[in-house]
Amino acid sequence: MIERDGQLKSLWQQGVQPYTTLHTAIENQSYDVIVVGGGITGLSTALLLQEAGKKCLVLEAKNLCFGTTGGTTAHLNTLLDTPYTEIEKKFSKETSREMATAAAAALDLVKRNIEQYNISCGFAEASACLFAQNSKQQKELEEIAHASAAAGLQVELTTDAPPPFRAVKTLRAMGQAKFHPVNYVYGLAKAFESLGGVILQQCQVTDVQNKDGVICTTGKGNFIGRDLIYATHIPPGINLLHLRCAPYRTYAMAVKLEDGQSFNDLVYDMEDPYHYYRSQIIDGTEYLIAGGKDHKTGQEENPAYRFTSLEATVRSHFKFKDIACKWSSQYFESTDGLPYIGHLPGHAEHIYTATGFGGNGMTYSHLAARLLADILLENENPLIKVLSPARIKPVAGFTNFITHNADAVRNFAGKLFSGEKLQELAGIAPGEGKIVQYDGEKIGLVRDKDGQLHAVKPVCTHLQCEVKWNGAEQSWECPCHGARYNCEGKVITGPAVQPLEKIDLGSKSIKPQTAT
């Protein structure tokens, strides 16, 4: 089974083995484009560029689909999470039309990839149904329907609810789809390699030097590129995008329906946060995939409650016995509701990124692939300016932001703690974690599943925010920009690159040491 950035197993990990690459990279080799990140954005972009004659290298720190691609619920939709009403209001009617056109082109690109490279990934077309349950929601729904139609979507308003839900009004958008995201990305990877592209897994980029192009330092040697694309969900290091993207957690579960119930559409209610539903047939079995109960990362003390609450919501609509699997994953919301795709602010001009996809990662990954390919190939695209990360104006007080919290966290160096006392203080069961106050200092303690206690300084190494323990996914999570660490403090996902400071509990005197 492939690994993912969480302890819980998603539906897409079941029975899927790690991808085996065809090629090995040669150290100091030069490439036209280096793509950092082996998820759906990285592979779809690399494939388009390789097709266009660029020589591309994909560097993935873990295994393909380790990040959010392995934990998505994979809705392919042009009915975007940021409604067209809002895009019209915050941007313009023209931008609304351009976004709808680009989202439709993104879905066409998925279809083209599947057909051209014969990718077996359970792709099926479906409608998206957004339904209102009261008059307030109905009014909003009618406005969304109007703006969606004006943007170019094929939509209809009906009084029929998508079964088994009840609704006063439903917006049905045609031309949406669903698929198995990991099988799809494996298909992209195969196609990319067949065209001469190179993928390196377990190959973390530890440094990027700008010279005439870039020199990427990795555990497998240095690689040289003319252009570099961070397809890492959020770019690593410190930049303005961390101020303009907020991390959120969402919860999902897959169940086998009883009584011959079947479910084809992509369905969304209008609660806040909303719930989403769709199905997928895997090896002849149909699973209902439901999700929701979102919250800002690090702001839920008890993630298990979110799963219980989601299960109760799903059971109020569907009959099923067991939950086949449940998992959570992370996404980033941009400040203005549209993704940031293009040149990475504050970096050399040949460094690009794509982030802030909200709940539309499957669609925006391909929109980003097209847009980044157009930028690098010097093609025109009306969204280059609209989605440019440079649309962010410099933020007053940015320097203060970088140092915020830093003063609040005193250095642990030289402090001595009694291991026995700490263990008494902790009183935590296997799998649990908490922050304890000891001798005026905060210490992050976790007892792993084998009973071993781990202690870290609970301060994110990105910009010094305090991390929180997520017992469901067994990770320390940073509420500021979404960095995640395992129980030992090692980085699971960026933007942090350095591990949490580890505190040795092996002796009576506990001195700080660096995790490796």
The least distance separating ligand FES from the CB of residue 465, rounded to whole angstroms, comes to: 4
Rounded to whole angstroms, the Cα distance separating 218 from 207 reads 7
Residue 236 CB contacts under 8 Å (≥ 6 apart), including other chains = 205, 230, 494, 495, 496, 497
Three-class secondary structure of residue 388 per DSSP? coil
Which one of 463, 491, 503, 505 is in contact with ligand FES (CB under 6 A)? 463
Window contacting ligand FES (CB under 6 A); options: 11-19, 104-112, 223-231, 463-471: 463-471
Which one of 481, 487, 489, 493 is in contact with ligand FES (CB under 6 A)? 481
Residue 421 CB contacts under 8 Å (≥ 6 apart), including other chains = 438
Binding mask 227-266 for ligand FES (x = CB under 6 A): ---------------x------------------------
| Residue 489 binds ligand FES, judged by CB under 6 A | no
Task: Output 120 or 299, the one with its CB closest to ligand FES.
Answer: 299
Three-class secondary structure of residue 427 per DSSP? coil
Number of continuous H segments (helices) and E segments (strands) in the chain: 11, 26
The C-alpha torsion from 104 through 107 and 113 to 116, rounded to 10°, is: -60
The least distance separating ligand FES from the CB of residue 300, rounded to whole angstroms, comes to: 17
Task: Output 194 or 206, the one with its CB closest to ligand FES.
Answer: 206
Task: Output 187 or 494, the one with its CB closest to ligand FES.
Answer: 494
Which one of 462, 487, 505, 510 is in contact with ligand FES (CB under 6 A)? 462
Rounded to whole angstroms, the Cα distance separating 39 from 6 reads 15
Rounded to whole angstroms, the Cα distance separating 91 from 494 reads 30
The least distance separating ligand FES from the CB of residue 466, rounded to whole angstroms, comes to: 9
Which one of 70, 291, 337, 495 is in contact with ligand FES (CB under 6 A)? 495
The least distance separating ligand FES from the CB of residue 484, rounded to whole angstroms, comes to: 9
Sign of the C-alpha dihedral computed for residues 310, 121, 14 and 22 taken in this order: negative
Which of 262, 191, 235 lies closest to 22 in space, CA to CA?
191
Window contacting ligand FES (CB under 6 A); options: 57-65, 135-143, 170-178, 478-486: 478-486
Which of 101, 115, 195, 194 lies closest to 148 in space, CA to CA?
101
Q: Give, as one character, the DSSP assignment of residue 381.
A: -
Which one of 132, 147, 478, 500 is in contact with ligand FES (CB under 6 A)? 478
| Residue 444 binds ligand FES, judged by CB under 6 A | no
| Residue 496 binds ligand FES, judged by CB under 6 A | yes
Side-chain half-sphere exposure of 337, counting CA atoms within 13 A: 15
Window contacting ligand FES (CB under 6 A); options: 86-94, 131-139, 162-170, 481-489: 481-489
Among positions 59-78, residues that touch ligand FES (CB under 6 A) are none
In the beta sheet, which residues pair with residue 248?
296, 331
228, 351 in Cβ contact below 8 A?
Answer: yes
Place of tokens 């092996």: 506
| Residue 465 binds ligand FES, judged by CB under 6 A | yes
Which of 25, 32, 66 lies closest to 46 in space, CA to CA?
32
Neighbours of 181 (CB within 10 A): 28
Neighbours of 203 (CB within 10 A): 22
The least distance separating ligand FES from the CB of residue 238, rounded to whole angstroms, comes to: 8
Window contacting ligand FES (CB under 6 A); options: 22-30, 47-55, 427-435, 480-488: 480-488
Window contacting ligand FES (CB under 6 A); options: 14-22, 444-452, 456-464, 508-516: 456-464
The least distance separating ligand FES from the CB of residue 347, rounded to whole angstroms, comes to: 17
The least distance separating ligand FES from the CB of residue 494, rounded to whole angstroms, comes to: 8
The least distance separating ligand FES from the CB of residue 16, rounded to whole angstroms, comes to: 29
The least distance separating ligand FES from the CB of residue 408, rounded to whole angstroms, comes to: 13
Window contacting ligand FES (CB under 6 A); options: 270-278, 353-361, 379-387, 459-467: 459-467
Window contacting ligand FES (CB under 6 A); options: 75-83, 86-94, 173-181, 458-466: 458-466
The least distance separating ligand FES from the CB of residue 463, rounded to whole angstroms, comes to: 4
Residue 409 CB contacts under 8 Å (≥ 6 apart), including other chains = 457, 459, 464, 466
| Residue 177 binds ligand FES, judged by CB under 6 A | no
Task: Output 75 or 462, the one with its CB closest to ligand FES.
Answer: 462
Task: Output 267 or 496, the one with its CB closest to ligand FES.
Answer: 496
DSSP string, 7-69: SSPPGGGTTPPPPPPS--PPTT-EEEEEEE--SHHHHHHHHHHHHTT--EEEE-SSSTT-SGG
Neighbours of 420 (CB within 10 A): 10
Please list, residue by residue across 27-63, b when 16 or more beta carbons sit within 10 angstroms of its beta carbon and e when fewer do: eeeebbbbbbbbbbbbbbbbbbbbeeebbbbbbbbbb
Window contacting ligand FES (CB under 6 A); options: 56-64, 361-369, 417-425, 461-469: 461-469
Three-class secondary structure of residue 478 per DSSP? coil
Residue 458 CB contacts under 8 Å (≥ 6 apart), including other chains = 435, 442, 443, 444, 466, 467, 476, 500
The least distance separating ligand FES from the CB of residue 478, rounded to whole angstroms, comes to: 3
Binding mask 365-404 for ligand FES (x = CB under 6 A): ----------------------------------------
Task: Output 246 or 367, the one with its CB closest to ligand FES.
Answer: 246
DSSP string, 206-245: EEEEESSSEEEEETTEEEEEEEEEE-SSS-SSS-THHHHE
Write out the residues near ligand FES by the rule CB under 6 A. Answer: 242, 460, 462-465, 478, 480-483, 495-496
